[in-house]
Structure 1
Amino acid sequence: MSVCTVCFGNLYEHELGHQACRPCADRVDRNLRALAGPDGLYARLADSLRPGSSSGGPHVSGSRTAPLPVRLDPLSLAARGGVVTILQTWLIDWHETLGYRHPRWDGDLQQQCDQVVHRLRVLLPWAAEAHGAFDEFSRELANLVHQCQTATGGEKPPRRIGVSCPCGRTLKVTLDTAGVRCPDCSAQYGHSEVLRLPLAERRSAA
């Protein structure tokens, strides 16, 4: 393998055969660290359950109906089946791939979040090198972090812009886009390569 499966950028000689380049592996590590700990995104979800708390949305008053007792978005992320369960499912997969015994979970969900993040970070160098679905893990993790940021009143989604592939296809990207593949000509662009593509012309209104 000569390209990163996450950003499609060329791998350095010492990375050949790996699933991901060092910058993409580092980005995954930052996303994992962002979720764990007493000040992490997962812990902040608990402070965002009450309507009107840390949602980042407008406050609406004078409603004729009583508001829900909790906000559903952060609740679904914080509850079992949300962030922690998704990360645990990935860790189970990694353990099974390596032939390790089934991981154990102790304590409440916050403690389990910290445990699974720690273990995933320990195994991250191996996964970035050898796990065949590392690109899928990277995308799902980034999506979880984005959902948590949105639910806790974090940054708004980055603005998407259109760039032109030489084949004529307009690709929608952001400044944070790790990489993209053109669905028409199958050309692959890494982060820096896609940002060097010319801006797509806006179509004038009829």
Structure 2
Amino acid sequence: MHDHTADLTQYEWPTCTACRKPLWENEYERQICRPCEDKTRVRLQELPGLFAQLDTTAALMRGASGGGAPTSGSKTPPIPPRLEVLNLVAAGGMATRLRDIEDAWRNRLGWTVAPWRGSPRQAVPEHVRFLLNNLPWAADAYDSVAQDVEDIRRLHAECAAAVANERKPGRVKTGLCPVRVDGQLCRAQLTAVATNHRIRCGTCGTEWGDLGAWRELRQQQDAVLAEAAGVAA
């Protein structure tokens, strides 16, 4: 006689492959539970907005120095070089990480790889749109979806942390004030934050209010350094 009691004691109730919690009875054929799917959907929906904020900050960083590198001879970048921000918005950052997930899903579905989406700014919304449209399928039937859910969670956390840091930016030194007051160099320490276009000298009151003015400031500082080097020579 077959022992059905033994069968029941050996039975393992299916669990979500992402959070490992038991699935509800109406979820037992799914790969991940509905709460994990819902959280992933919200994170995907928020990624384009987070990217836009970080891309604006990265543009300020690159524009202020005329291409991302300090002017020759200068020791202090005009605004903080936030590597975590630059890494997220550059090629190989958010857009590439989302593309890799899209390509994995396309491969499992038997579709061609993702078409070229353009720059990271153009690509992120397109990759997100694909993933949102196909998330219900992945949640139900893609046996490797748990890793992608974790990758999306980690990517969202990195972006949210970078944006939060921008909301509470620290000040960094941006060189000495090169303005002459009554024939004497001011030489007060200047500071800036990545989210503010304005640099103001607290001693002489001179302001540099946009990216063009920041480049002019850098040129003035380099001129003072060159003049000092000539005197020293």
TM-score when normalising by structure 2? 0.56
Counterpart position of 1:142 = 153
Counterpart position of 2:106 = 95
1:84-163 paired onto structure 2 within 5 Å = 84-153=95-164
Distance change >3 Å, CA 27–CA 109, structure 1 → 2: same
More helix as a share of residues: 2
Distance change >3 Å, CA 11–CA 68, structure 1 → 2: farther
Counterpart position of 2:56 = 47
Answer whether contact 1:105 1:115 (CA < 8 A) is retained: no
> SS in structure 1 opposite 2:164?
coil
Identity of aligned residues (%): 33
Counterpart position of 1:165 = none
Answer whether contact 1:6 1:138 (CA < 8 A) is retained: yes
> SS in structure 2 opposite 1:30?
helix
CA distance in 2, matches of 1:2, 1:124: 20
> Is the aligned partner of 1:7 residue 2:19?
yes
How far the C-alpha of 1:154 sits from its partner, in A, is 5.7
How far the C-alpha of 1:67 sits from its partner, in A, is 3.2
Deviation readout 1:114-165 (Å, 9 max, x if unpaired)? 0000000111011111212211111111111111111122699xxxxxxxxx
List structure 1 runs of 4+ shifted beyond 4 angstroms: none
CA distance in 1, matches of 2:16, 2:117: 35
1:59-74 paired onto structure 2 within 5 Å = 65-67=75-77, 70-74=81-85
> SS in structure 2 opposite 1:140?
helix
Consecutive unaligned residues of structure 2, counting only runs of 5 or more, are: 1-12, 62-73, 168-233
How far the C-alpha of 1:48 sits from its partner, in A, is 2.6
Deviation readout 1:84-119 (Å, 9 max, x if unpaired)? 101101100100111012221333322210000000
> SS in structure 1 opposite 2:77?
coil
RMSD: 2.3
CA distance in 2, matches of 1:102, 1:47: 29
CA distance in 1, matches of 2:122, 2:132: 15
Deviation readout 1:42-73 (Å, 9 max, x if unpaired)? 1111233356xxxxxxxxxxxx9413763211
Q: Which has the higher contact order (CA 8 A, sep 6+)?
A: 1
Answer whether contact 1:48 1:151 (CA < 8 A) is retained: no
* Number of residue pairs matched by the alignment: 141
How far the C-alpha of 1:75 sits from its partner, in A, is 0.4
Larger Rg: 2
Consecutive unaligned residues of structure 1, counting only runs of 5 or more, are: 52-63, 157-206
